[in-house]
């Protein structure tokens, strides 16, 4: 695909600086710009590259425009406009309706005529697949699964019995939705399995990364609300609830019955304990270990290496007193002046 710079400005809502007749047919990195490409700069420390770029156009803020003689799209959010331009120049593949003769589909399953079902997919009894869905090879949709319109399942996704996936959602390869939660009770001399009777409900416009696992609820459902973005290799435990437009980075693990609010950001490798609740608009730095609920918005961080438990309890006792001890020391310093 190609557009003039003026057309890109109109379609993205960005301002235009310089000639709008330039043809743009690809996006590029600021250091790899060539004729016909467009690049972006969102961080002021990279503005030094603007003078020497070979790109035909750039995406920058108005404050950066004085450093740039290249035709530009002007915006408060260059990264977002760059993403819109990239999608315009590289549109998502159009779903071509087709059912592979090597797919196994139950007689009572409802598959919309506009959906695409590829080889070795298994669709069990009572499943519903919405309009424009694309189910890639090797996926398994167990009994009574519901898939909304426009949803894409990449290869080898498994969705457990009774789970619901909304519209325009993407599940990447190897994701497992609706496995049993980790529910066991010690009974005399062995573990007794607790039946996991709930389901998983995933909203609209959600994206779930490769090899991520989301467990079904023990009684109620595990819920992922609209607009949530989940990275690769993440574990969500049974009965978790992830609020709208929250993002979760790779290798994060949530125990059971965790509730995350709206518009939160969880960095890589975060660990959250059972029954923890996190309010809206919280940012957790990578590797943070969360054992208690967070009730105030803001950014949080904290990692302490593992030690023997009695030593850890002593350390924790001192840590809790540090603020008060610091105040007492300051008071003594002032008194002795």
Look at residues 281, 156, 150 and name the one whose alpha carbon lies nearest to residue 205. Answer: 150
Residue 332, phi then psi, degrees to nearest 5: -65, -40
d(C-alpha 276, C-alpha 253), whole Å: 13
Give the length of the chain: 337
Give the span between the Cα atoms of 62 and 47, in whole angstroms. 12
Token pair listed for 203: 């909203």
Helix axes 5-12, 78-89, angle to 10 degrees: 120
Rounded Cα distance between 44 and 251, Å, is: 31
In degrees to the nearest 10, what's the CA dihedral of 246, 249, 252, 253?
30
Sequence-distant (6+) residues with CB within 8 A of 98 are 116, 117, 118
Dist CA 60 CA 41 (whole Å) = 5
Q: Taking the CB of residue 126, how many other CB atoms lie within 10 A of it?
A: 17
What six digits make up the tokens of 179?
């496995």
Burial 236-270 (b: 16+ CB within 10 A, else e): bbbbbbbbbbbbbbbbbbbbbbbbbbbebbbbbbb
Let me know: does 293 contact 274? Beta carbons within 8 Å. no
Return the beta strands (E) in 200-251 as ranges: 200-202, 207-208, 213-215, 222-224, 229-230, 235-236, 241-242, 247-248
Task: Point out the residues that are catalytic.
Answer: 238
């Amino acid at each position: 695909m190609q557009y003039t710079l003026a057309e890109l400005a109109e379609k993205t809502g960005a301002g235009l600086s310089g000639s709008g007749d330039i043809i743009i047919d690809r996006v590029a990195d600021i250091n790899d710009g060539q004729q016909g490409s467009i690049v972006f700069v969102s961080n002021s420390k990279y503005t030094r590259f603007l003078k020497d770029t070979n790109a035909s156009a750039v995406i920058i803020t108005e404050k950066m425009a004085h450093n740039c003689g290249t035709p530009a799209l002007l915006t408060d959010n260059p990264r977002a406009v760059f993403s819109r331009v990239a999608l315009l120049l590289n549109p998502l593949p159009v779903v071509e309706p087709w059912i592979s003769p090597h797919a196994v589909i139950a007689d009572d399953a409802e598959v919309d005529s506009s959906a695409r079902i590829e080889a070795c997919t298994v669709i069990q009894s009572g499943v519903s697949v919405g309009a424009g869905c694309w189910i890639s090879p090797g996926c398994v949709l167990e009994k009574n699964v519901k898939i909304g319109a426009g949803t894409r399942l990449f290869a080898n996704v498994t969705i457990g019995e009774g789970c619901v996936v909304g519209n325009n959602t993407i599940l990447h390869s190897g994701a497992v939705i609706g496995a049993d939660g980790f529910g066991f009770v010690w009974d005399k001399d062995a573990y007794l399995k607790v039946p996991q009777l709930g389901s998983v409900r995933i909203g609209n416009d959600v994206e779930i990364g490769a090899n991520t696992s989301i467990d079904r609820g023990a009684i109620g459902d595990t819920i992922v609300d609209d607009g949530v973005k989940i990275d690769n290799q993440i574990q969500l435990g049974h009965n978790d609830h992830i609020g709208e437009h929250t993002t979760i980075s790779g290798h994060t693990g949530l125990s059971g019955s965790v509730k995350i609010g709206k518009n939160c950001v969880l960095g890589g490798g975060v660990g959250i304990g059972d029954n923890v609740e996190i309010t809206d608009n919280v940012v957790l730095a990578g590797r943070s270990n969360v054992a208690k609920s967070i009730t105030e918005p803001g950014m949080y961080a904290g990692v302490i290496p593992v030690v023997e438990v009695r030593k850890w309890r002593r350390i924790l006792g001192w840590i809790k007193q540090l603020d008060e001890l610091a105040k007492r020391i300051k008071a003594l310093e002032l008194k002795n002046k």
